[in-house]
């Protein structure tokens, strides 16, 4: 049976009011007051660190220095409310590099680190939404290096989502010389992205139609360009 909504609201209110806080999360010199029981209820990593014979459990301070302060605040907000929000586009946080794509990617990494599957699922969904809705591919390209620097179990999924977006849209910008220049720069900084994108372009399934029996043929894009595709229905090459 889920907890009454009023209870979770009260818990969140106690947090925002600073009542009964018994732990400080320290991130890059900035502190976030929290309740141990809330963190430990969400994360087995926090449970082990704060209930065992470790330094953090004695000093009532836990340091999180491999993420940014806004992302850690987002994680804590999720623990109290079940959701989080990326910084507003006009905030100074975004101008420091925590725009939507990178923010959600960082949240996936943090969820992986602290083994919070529900946060990971939400962050991946928000990351995909942010990538799919971004119409400015130049802006999206600028996030490639940051996404590819993400560590943790979720990095393969993040890269896959990002590469698929470029795979589906890059052909529409083939004559954009500015895009070409930026792509070359990104390729020098993050060569693995170039490899992943090239593989996606080669292996993405495309369709052709048999000139003999008119059956739809599903094939790799590289084979379509070769111009000799064998129809599995009638055997004719087209």
Percent of the chain with pLDDT over 70: 70
Q: How close are the terminal C-alpha atoms of the chain, in Å?
A: 61
- Alpha-carbon distance of 18 to 21, in angstroms, equals 6
Delimit the domains of the chain by residue range. Answer: 1-84, 90-106+117-171+182-203, 206-237
Amino acid 96: pLDDT: 43
Amino acid 201: pLDDT: 74
- Alpha-carbon distance of 65 to 62, in angstroms, equals 10
Amino acid 122: pLDDT: 97
Supply angle C-alpha 129, 133, 136, rounded to 5.
135
- Alpha-carbon distance of 1 to 7, in angstroms, equals 13
Above 80 in pLDDT, residue 117? yes
Which contiguous run of DSSP H or E holds residue 166?
Answer: helix 155-169
- Alpha-carbon distance of 49 to 54, in angstroms, equals 6
Which contiguous run of DSSP H or E holds residue 64?
Answer: none
Residue (of 197, 192, 184, 86) closest to 138 by Cα position: 184
Above 80 in pLDDT, residue 155? yes
Amino acid 56: pLDDT: 54
pLDDT in tens, 78-105: 999 999 998 876 554 443 444 789 999 9
- Supply the CATH classification number for the domain 1-84: 3.30.710.10
- Alpha-carbon distance of 8 to 11, in angstroms, equals 5
Amino acid 200: pLDDT: 81
Amino acid 221: pLDDT: 43
Amino acid 156: pLDDT: 93
Above 80 in pLDDT, residue 205? no
Taken in order 9, 12, 17, 21, is the CA torsion positive or negative? positive
45 falls in which pLDDT band (50, 70, 90)?
Answer: very high
């Amino acid at each position: 049976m889920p907890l009454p909504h009023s209870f979770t609201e009260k818990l969140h209110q106690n947090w925002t009011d600073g009542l009964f806080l018994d732990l400080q999360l320290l991130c890059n010199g900035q502190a976030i007051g929290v309740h141990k029981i809330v963190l430990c209820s969400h994360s087995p990593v926090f449970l082990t660190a704060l209930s065992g014979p470790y330094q953090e459990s004695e000093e009532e301070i836990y340091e999180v220095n491999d993420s940014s302060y806004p992302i850690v605040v987002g994680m804590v907000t999720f623990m109290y409310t079940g959701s989080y929000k990326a910084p507003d586009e006009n905030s100074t946080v975004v101008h420091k590099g925590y725009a939507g794509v990178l923010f959600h990617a960082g949240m996936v990494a943090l969820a992986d680190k602290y083994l919070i599957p529900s946060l990971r699922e939400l962050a991946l969904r928000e990351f995909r939404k942010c990538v799919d809705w971004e119409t400015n591919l130049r802006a999206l390209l600028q996030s490639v290096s940051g996404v590819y620097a993400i560590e943790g179990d979720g990095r393969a999924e993040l890269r896959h989502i990002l590469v698929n977006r470029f795979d589906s849209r890059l052909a529409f910008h083939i004559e954009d010389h500015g895009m070409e220049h930026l792509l070359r720069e990104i390729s020098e900084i993050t060569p693995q992205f170039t490899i992943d994108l090239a593989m996606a372009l080669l292996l993405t399934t495309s369709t052709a139609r048999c000139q003999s029996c008119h059956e739809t043929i599903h094939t790799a894009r590289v084979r379509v360009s070769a111009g000799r595709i064998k129809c599995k229905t009638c055997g004719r090459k087209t």
